[in-house]
Amino acid sequence: MAPGPVDSVVPAVVDPPDRTGPSDSLLSRGGVDAALGTYSLDSLRLDSILLDTSAVTIVDRKCALYLDPDSAATEEERAQMSEEAYLESMDDYQYYTYTVASTLESRGLLVEALGRRKRYVRFQYPDGSGYTIDLARGRDLRGLVLFDRAIAPVLWLGTELSPEWDRRLSGP
């Protein structure tokens, strides 16, 4: 029997508790860890397994992935501020993101655009379990998604990479 449509799902296997990071109590309360400059992606997490994987991007290695808002969210953001303020905020975002991404890339880490060609992204752990997000739930998100294959991926948006994430992403 062929897999059903993308919306066909079965209950997900919950990831074991060892998938938590150093500041999960803060992440679970507010989704933001200011010390690490990261945001939890739990609000995008899919609590079921997709039977049709044609709409899923599989990420199975340590990486940093650029995530930009969809075009409608970008236009909404642009309309909420003056042209000068918008361009200044985009210059700042691009400078800091590029600086961190270049540093990570110079250490051999995969750094690339995530894109929105596929709706779902499954971050695969070495043991075969995973963490799947629905990009449609985060259509306005912008930043670098950091994934070290040990804990849940996070969205980074800041001015510098924390020593914790620098260590996590720099090793083998």
Kindly list the domain boundaries of the chain, sorted by start residue.
37-170
pTM: 0.77
In this predicted model, what pLDDT tens digit does every residue of 68-127 receive, in sequence order? 998 998 999 999 999 999 999 999 999 999 999 999 999 899 999 998 999 999 999 999
In this predicted model, what pLDDT tens digit does every residue of 141-161 receive, in sequence order? 889 999 999 999 999 988 888
Task: Name the residue among 83, 73, 80, 101 with its Cα closest to residue 158.
Answer: 101
Percent of the chain with pLDDT over 90: 51
* Greater model confidence, 33 or 67: 67
Q: Is the pLDDT of residue 22 over 70?
A: no
**What is the phi/psi pair of residue 66, to 5°?**
-65, 130
